[in-house]
Chain A
Amino acid sequence: MPFTRFLLPFLALATGCAQGSSGALGQTDTTAACPPSELVCAVAGIDAPIAKGATLPIQVSVTSEGAATPPLSFVSANPAVFKIDDARIHALSPGLASMLITTEGELVVDFLHVWVAEADALRLHRVTTGGLQTSPLPAAMEMLVGDELTLVASPHLGPQRLLGELDAQFEADPAVVLMLDEGVAGSRRIVAKAAGETNVTVKALDIEVAVALTVLEVKP
């Protein structure tokens, strides 16, 4: 069993009630909408600016005692900075604005201040079977024929990793690797196909990043 899978239940206990970003009025928690397997994402909240040009699906729950979550709507206080469609924040320009959480009758139950920042770097991360992402990949890696590697591109500003899903384009030599689009934004599953060398190049937000892959073949 991979170590990360073993770790997940303990991580859930350790995080306790720290579930996402609390609203200014303390009545809601906001997190990025994540698959249940990605526990780190699910408890992290909106803990960084959203990258300009990226989209962040969100999930908001009411934290009150004695009341389930009522029907909610999300409103941007400055649509020039970000807009919200279908529970997704679309980051449009660098800045700061409040996201209002309203229920029927435009009654505000909470709000959250959200930053949008312009990324200055794009980094590649490996997605493990437990869904956790390691630190950024090195510039070069080796694989054996048949090995698989799932990569995700993430925007950064200085030392801070920004939030948001990217519309990224992946390129590599199809004779060496196969790149499968599994429907996860900014991510590809890479399968080593034949011995050789290729650069996996990723473009998003007008930034390009690459990792050099060497695929080796074990000969009997």
Chain B
Amino acid sequence: MSPRAALLLLAAAALAAGCEPTLTALTVAPPTAVAECDDAAKDVRLSEGIALAIECTYQGSPCEDATMSSSDPDVVRVMPGFVDLLAPGDAYQRYPADVPRSVFIFVGGKPGDATVTLTSTDANATVDVKVLPLP
């Protein structure tokens, strides 16, 4: 591969990476349960009956007009969340924002696999969700 082609490929990869929204877990699992969000792999592991709050950002700002839908609500239910009740500067160090943060609550249902589709004005993504039985 020529240096020019490698450079083009690198630039394309950088552009493609920039189109991905970032998913960040805002909460943790209670003892014995699992509630994890892997942004790089765009997958979520969750115990049945456990909720996990996930924030969607795009280039550092809240994902705009974001919605999420589950392929199987019996496995994972996704509900919109609202986390802007607290004033900035509290113990959680929330930043002031011109627009509400984009947060969704994933709720584990019966054990199994499902996909959650994220659509927003900024970018779209598919999140693979695995719901695990509690020990």
Contacts and interface: CB of A to CB of B under 8 A. Distances in A.
Q: Do A and B share a complex?
A: yes
Interface of A: 24-27, 62-67, 77-78, 80-81, 95-98, 100, 102-103, 105-109, 111, 113
Given A77-B50, A95-B49, A66 B33 contact: no
B85 A109 contact: yes
A77 B53 CA distance: 13
Nearest to B29: A113
Given A24-B27, A109-B85, A77 B107 contact: yes
B82 interface: yes
B131 to A, nearest CB: 11
**Chain B interface helix/strand/loop/mixed:** loop
Interface in B14-49: 26-28, 30, 32-33, 47-49
A122 B32 CA distance: 27
B86 A98 contact: no
A96 B134 contact: yes
B5 interface: no
Contact of A65 (B30, B53, B83, B87): B87
B116 to A, nearest CB: 15
A107 B49 CA distance: 18
B80 A107 contact: yes
Contacts of B105: 100, 108, 111
A90 to B, nearest CB: 15
Nearest to B87: A65
B31 to A, nearest CB: 9
A182 B32 CA distance: 40
A113 B83 contact: no
B49 A25 contact: no
Nearest to B30: A113
Given A100-B51, A108-B79, A108-B105, 14 more contacts: A24-B26, A24-B51, A63-B86, A65-B87, A78-B48, A96-B47, A97-B50, A100-B79, A100-B105, A106-B79, A107-B79, A108-B82, A109-B81, A111-B27
Nearest to A105: B80
Contacts of B107: 77, 98, 100
B95 to A, nearest CB: 15
Nearest to B33: A96
Contacts of A27: 83, 85-86
A109 B134 CA distance: 25
A62 B87 CA distance: 13
A102 B51 CA distance: 13
A6 B79 CA distance: 47
17 contacts: A24-B26, A26-B90, A27-B85, A64-B86, A65-B86, A77-B107, A78-B49, A96-B50, A96-B134, A98-B107, A102-B79, A106-B79, A107-B82, A109-B82, A111-B53, A113-B33, A113-B51
